[in-house]
Amino acid sequence: MIKGLKTALGAVTVGLLAGASLAHAQGADTELVKKGEYVARLGDCVACHTALHGQVYAGGLTIETPVGTIYSTNITPDPTYGIGSYTLEDFDKAIRHGVRKDGSSLYPAMPYPSFARMSDEDIKALYAYFMHGVKPVAQPNKPVGISWPLSMRWPLSIWRSTFAPTPKPFTPAPGTDAEIARGEYLVTGPGHCGACHTPRGLGMQEKALDASGGADFLAGGAPIDNWIAPSLRNDPVVGIGRWSEEDLYLFLKSGRTDHSAVFGGMADVVGWSTQYFTDADLHAMAKYLKALPPVPPSRGDYTYDASTAQALDSGNTSAPGAATYVEQCAICHRNDGGGVGRMFPPLAGNSVVVTDNPTSVAHIIVAGGVLPPTNWAPSAVAMPGYKSVLSDQQIADVVNFIRTSWGNKAPANVTASDIQKLRVNHAPISTTSWGFGGDATATWGVFHPQPYGSGWTFAPQTHTGEDAAQ
């Protein structure tokens, strides 16, 4: 009888808990949760807070920094390991202020300097989504891999007070076109484009958080997992000066245009985030980027030079790297460097090919890459890696050949040693050696070499090509 009573009581308890859980879910504002899910897409929260092959939002993604390794945290509503005990105020403090529930500061790998301008309504919706629309996952957070004393958190509060803006909902300048204003909010706020595309200073701070910061804003960042985030300004050679608004819209929606294809960390952004944006939001972002104040062209304009194609067509492969290009690359990218629209990107006049730092083009030749499928372009296109096919010298030669052909005017300074370090140690190509160099190429100087190439950055792992969680 006692056993039967215990069973009955247990059933009642389970029923009450289930009922409470159901009531909790039903009590949430369905429309608010739905809006919050979209805001989470705008912020691409899932890409950083999901480990490779991991559970969604459960954290654990490796993020390399110049001082050691940190890991993204569990942001599911699990009450023990996640944010299930967070109030709306706690949540807002973390998102816009960079302060955890326990009062300690977050590492600025969390882009709270950008999120500081998010609207109260978007924060409320985002909170509703994470509390009521995300499945709890009881997964412990990983401890940081930073040695003491650099692992101490209290200096981060100084960083916040020095570099992070006071949280304030975005307000456009008087007279700003409504569509451009929406695009500015998305790019500088939840989209946090500058976290990758704006160079960082000696304090790991973004040198500019919006266009008021001048030419540094969205001028291109440092290597992130061996991919370069290029300039989003109007420079016709290293930026998007020759892109139209429609090009930008298609790129963010599908990951490919007739003259470009997404890869690396940006492939995660398209695969997990921008392909889900409304057309209105994508057009707003494109219009805002094209409306940014012009910057002086760093290398003049681009003019196609047909002499490389003519030489290759005639069988002249005497230039270093030319024979390798014809044998391994031309079948997709063609002798004229034009590629195949929306499949194999052109190499002629490609801004990623001619960036000051050649890591992106070297890395994709060494390790390969994947143009991910999207809802709007469901075919996946993969480029094989050549690290086991070509020698380090052959890869260096073909990188230099690509960067100096068809009118491309980038330095031909990649060496076999650079490729060996990239292939064996996963080390990006550095454009400086020891010392501090210029603003865009600062290192740790004689105390500690910057291990992720020129400049400073946070480098999360790339999902695309490693897992298919998106």
- Detail the residues annotated as belonging to a binding site for heme c: 45, 48-49, 193, 196-197, 329, 332-333
In the block, residue with structure tokens 């790019």? 187
In the chain, count of helices (H) and strands (E)? 18, 9
Q: Which amino acid is at 360?
A: S
Contacts of 61 (CB under 8 A, 6+ apart): 48, 49, 50, 51, 52, 54, 71, 72, 460, 461
Contacts of 296 (CB under 8 A, 6+ apart): 215
Q: Token pair for residue 342?
A: 């929306």
Contact (Cβ atoms closer than 8 angstroms) between residue 48 and residue 460: yes
Q: Which amino acid is at 283?
A: H
- 19 class by beta-carbon count within 10 Å (0-12 exposed, 13-18 middle, 19+ buried): exposed
d(Cα 13, Cα 152) in Å, to the nearest integer?
A: 44
Return the closest-CA partner of residue 353 out of 341, 365, 343. 365
Write b or e for each residue in 377-399: b if 16 or more Cβ atoms lie within 10 A of its Cβ, otherwise e: beeebebebbbeebebbbbbbbb
Q: Which amino acid is at 355?
A: T
Phi, psi of 459 (to 5 degrees): -125, 90
Contact (Cβ atoms closer than 8 angstroms) between residue 194 and residue 188: yes
d(Cα 310, Cα 337) in Å, to the nearest integer?
A: 11
Contacts of 468 (CB under 8 A, 6+ apart): none
Contacts of 271 (CB under 8 A, 6+ apart): 255, 372, 374, 463, 464, 470
Contact (Cβ atoms closer than 8 angstroms) between residue 253 and residue 282: yes
Q: Token pair for residue 83?
A: 């944010």
Q: Residue 369 in 3-state DSSP?
A: strand
Query: Can you say which residues are annotated as belonging to the binding site?
Result: 45, 48-49, 193, 196-197, 329, 332-333
